[in-house]
Structure 1
Amino acid sequence: MIAYSPKASSMETFSKMFSDLENCSSDERESKVCEFVKWMNEMDEKEVEYLVSEETFFKVNNMFEEKKLSQDNIIHLLKYMGINKSLITNFGTRFEYTPLPKRLEKIIVDEEKKKEGKNEKLLIDVCECSLLLINEPSTKLLSICVPCLLKAALKKDESADTQKEVEIALLTLGNLKNWDAIEKEMYLKEISEIIKYHQEHRNLTRLAYQSAWGFLISRFNNERSLEGVIVKELNFTREALRELEELSKIVDWKRNERNNEVFIVRGWFNSIWNIFIENNILFGNDNSELITCAMRLFKISEKNYQKVVVECIALFRLMMRNSENIRDLMACGAIDMMAEKMSQSTMNYEILIECLIFFHV
């Protein structure tokens, strides 16, 4: 067995692995796909951006047409391309410019139409790889996939396999942003149940829980009637702050490499950021706890995870729109902290630019 490593030469490794997939025997194909998936799970952002390209998707489509890989293997491969893309980069794909989305949508529609013998696992897998890779899913696709994935995410079994299934279903849903096509009747009861159950039983992984909230918060700007559910019923403020506090303690901030827990931190900031785009409605008038937490994350992540620092500054910048927040930022020392950082000659260039923008808001 060849030991593939994305750290050697991504282009060479990538070409070698695809060649192996195309030319291996039918008995070897499943293990080769598993090797490829394992390799993808070690990739960094630039490598994933290289992987999820139009050229790659055409190669996968050709293997599908020429029957060099089975439908199950193709779906497995595409699903983990989507998972890795969603976990470490906001880079868009050109998936829609290939024949694959139509192939996948046909599988989804045909499976959904079945009265008997419906393959639920296949349906979930194809929904996941479609929504993780398609930039603008159709209303038809969403109407099938969202209820399907919510049903998968409602599983209460705490076995490792089920937890992983639930995590991927929620990660996929969290990948959907402000699409008007998703009416609250399609998701509100289920996503509320998933969040409430976790608050009582702590059954979800950290990634799954953040993704569940990310999905719900992304609906907020298009559906303002969610305010009561988010603020009072599910208590987003308490949950977001608790999760960020805990993550600040358990993440290995000295590790300068891919770290999925850092993705979760950024996900919570993104949800908080989405709230502050409009107003202070969820956090009220006293944001000192949130500011203090963001300052702590700023300090511990600035050496190895500059994107977390950028998230913190972006939040501070949005908070500056409100005079009461300005007082909180000053009282907590956030403004002094950034001014002091700007005077350091060793400061990261990207962070310096963000600080300059902050002081010119």
Structure 2
Amino acid sequence: METDNTKKFNELFSELEHYDEDKQRKKIGETNEIIDGMNEEEFRSIFRKRMFYKIDKMIEEKKMSIENAILLLKHAGCCIKLKNVWNPCFDLSSLGERFKKMIVEEEEKEKGKKNEKLLADLCECYLLFHFDFSSNLISICVSCLLNVASKKEKNEETQKEVEMALLALSHINTYSEIEQEIYLNEIKEIIQYHQVHRSLTCLGYQSAWQFFISRFYTNGFLKDTVANELHFAREAERELEELTRCLDWYRKEDGKEENEAKEVLVIGRWIQTLLIYFQCRQLPNEERVDLFSRIVQIYRAAKDNYEEISRWCIYPLRSASERGIVKIDDLLKGGAADAVLEGIQRPTLNEGVTYECLHFFKNVSYRLKGKEKSENDEIERKATKRKVFEKTEEEGYEDTITSIHEISGFLYRKYFDPEISLNISDYFVNI
């Protein structure tokens, strides 16, 4: 169904081919303002394969310059990524093929003849819209955009360039293999320089970390660098604290839809990055509790008006409970168990959250049932077990689990996970 935003956008876009380059550029600025206010469904209805075909045809017929096409696509790609809209249409379009060919051709030019600005713009568009990455193009894009992101001038224009380059890099999928010599020293230097000079925007810094953490799946050796040299947990907690401190979560009134504040979007991205991190590696002991406390704070702050972000907070807490990567006592001190109990007892319970909450307490129960080898560890285990038992008993957790057990088979089928248990006792911590 056509909305005001899609109607206005389509009207403006249909007129673009009739303008000269300068006026067209001005009109693209107007379309970009409309894009800022679009929701997920509006993005999906506009940025379809036919849209990319139309842009490609306009470029081919010289009715739109490549620079103006990039102006439109970079802005749209940025908004699509910030709002987590999945859009595979560019991969399948003639425009996507045009951009890939141009990247290779520009990269192959001699140094003095290469248009570095055009190459960076093309790489950003490619990474922002593509999902099916080729190893050759990734190497070109990573090298090019890390050069852009390494700029150290603190003026607003340079910061925007750096932010866009890092945002594009952050969306290279986690399973794409990149040779470490292409990125390791450069991304470390970017992060370390910001830690001293505060040179990046909040989105730029988060994007730098997301790009780096996403490399864990193919380069697990990075864990020591991230934890001990760059202090990821400390930095994530500090960034989240700053973002939440200046935000009242922009409450919506009378059901009126408002644009999400950029800070809220960045918080959501940090939570997703933490999920990737907990799935792969453990944190230094001294940095755990504060980070869990911050996640719990965001969970509670967001649950009334930003339910999606609130739900996301449960996922890294569940990941942290797995495989002994953190102590159960640290989860208790950080309030993780309290948040999960609140999550599982909410009246508007989401199926995915139910699934994650069940896994959290299944993991906790499983780990607390096994005896420790050393006497001190065994004493600690029993003390923690008592705390969890008292906490769950106080909150009426057993009654909640018993009622949820009726849908556990449905959750098993929906999420295709053989680890979800249909045995009620697996979710109880008995003394």
Same fold (TM over 0.5): yes
| Distance of 1:134 and 1:341 partners within structure 2 | 35
Deviations 1:60-95 (A, max 9, x none): 122222222111111221121211111111413211
- Relative contact order (alpha carbons < 8 A, sep ≥ 6): 1 or 2 greater? 1
Match of 1:58? 53
In 1, the alpha carbon distance for the partners of 2:69 and 2:250 equals 37
Shift of 1:301: 0.6
Q: Distance in 2 between matches of 1:207 and 1:60?
A: 29
Per the alignment, residue 98 of structure 1 pairs with: 93
The C-alpha deviation readout for 1:216-235, integer Å capped at 9, x for no partner, is 00001210121221111111
Partner in structure 2 of residue 359 of structure 1: 358
Contact preservation (8 Å) 1:155, 1:162: yes
Q: 2:299, 2:309 within 8 Å by CA — same for their partners in 1?
A: yes
Aligned counterpart in structure 1 of residue 233 of structure 2, from 237, 247, 256: 237
Residue in 2 aligned with 1:168?
A: 164
Deviation (angstroms), 1:291: 1.9
Q: What is the rounded CA distance, in whole Å, between the counterparts of 2:130 and 2:343 in structure 1?
A: 40
CA drift at 1:340:
4.1
Query: Contact (CA 8 Å) 2:234, 2:291: kept in 1 or not?
Result: no
Q: Secondary structure at the match of 2:141?
A: helix
Instruction: Verify the 8 A CA contact 1:49 1:89 in the aligned structure 2.
Output: no
- Report how far residue 357 of structure 1 moved: 4.0
Whole-Å separation in 2 of the counterparts to 1:302 and 1:340: 11
Q: Partner of 1:287: helix, strand, or coil?
A: helix
One-letter amino acid matched to 1:295: V
Q: From the superposition, tell whether residues 121 and 332 of structure 1 become closer, same or farther in structure 2 (CA, over 3 Å).
A: closer
The answer on whether the counterparts of 2:131 and 2:173 sit within 8 Å (CA) in structure 1 is no
SS in 2 for 1:131: helix
How far 1:337 sits from its partner (Å)?
4.0
Instruction: Provide the residue aligned with 1:3 in structure 2.
Output: none
1:12-33 Cα distance to aligned partner (Å, 9 max, x none): 1222122121333455211111
Structure 1 residue runs without a partner (length 5+): 1-6
CA contact (8 A) 2:8 2:34 kept: no
How big is the alpha-carbon RMSD for the aligned residues of Structure 1 and Structure 2?
2.2
Report the CA distance between 1:341 and its aligned residue: 5.2
Match runs of 1:245-284 below 5 Å: 245-256=241-252, 257-280=259-282, 282-284=283-285
- 2:302 aligned residue: 301
The alpha-carbon deviation at position 285 of structure 1 amounts to 7.8
| SS at structure 2 position matched to 1:182 | coil
- Judged with a 3 Å threshold, the aligned counterparts in structure 2 of structure 1 residues 26 and 318 are, in CA distance, closer, same or farther, namely closer
Letter in 1 for 2:190: I
The one-letter code matched in structure 1 to 2:179 is: E
Aligned length: 351
Q: 1:234 to 1:139 in 2, by over 3 A?
A: same
Q: What amino acid does structure 2 have at the position aligned with 1:29? A: Q
Distance in 2, matches of 1:230 and 1:332, equals 22
- What's the offset of the Cα at 1:136? 1.6
Query: Are positions 1:12 and 2:3 aligned together?
Result: no
Range that drifts further, 244-253 or 126-135: 244-253
Give matches, 1:120-135, under 5 Å: 120-135=116-131
| Shift in alpha-carbon separation, 1:211–1:338, aligned structure 2, 3 A | same
Deviation larger for 220-229 or 163-172: 220-229
Which residue identity lines up with residue 207 of structure 2 in the other structure?
S
- Alignment match of 2:185 (pick from 180, 186, 189): 189
**Distance change in 2, residues 1:357/1:236 (3 Å):** closer
Larger Rg: 2
Whether the aligned pair in 1 keeps the contact of 2:340 and 2:357 (CA below 8 Å) is no
Contact map agreement 1:52 1:93 (CA 8 A) in 2: no
Q: Judge conservation of contact 2:191–2:205 (CA < 8 Å) in 1.
A: yes
Does the CA-based 8 Å contact 1:253-1:304 persist in structure 2? yes
Distance between the aligned counterparts of 1:333 and 1:241, measured in 2?
A: 15
Sequence identity, in percent?
38
TM-score of the aligned structures, taking structure 1 as reference length: 0.90
Select which of 84, 92, 98 maps to 2:79: 84
Preserved contact between residue 220 and residue 226 of structure 1 (Cα < 8 Å)? yes
Cα deviation per residue 1:189-245 (whole Å; 9 max; x = unaligned)? 110110010001001000000000100000012101212211111111111111111
Q: Secondary structure at the match of 1:158?
A: coil
Question: Does the 8 Å contact 1:287/1:325 carry over to 2?
Answer: no
Is 1:313–1:355's contact at 8 Å kept on the other side of the alignment? no
Task: State the TM-score, normalized to the length of structure 2.
Answer: 0.76
- Report what 1:113 is aligned to: 108
Match of residue 222 from structure 2? 226
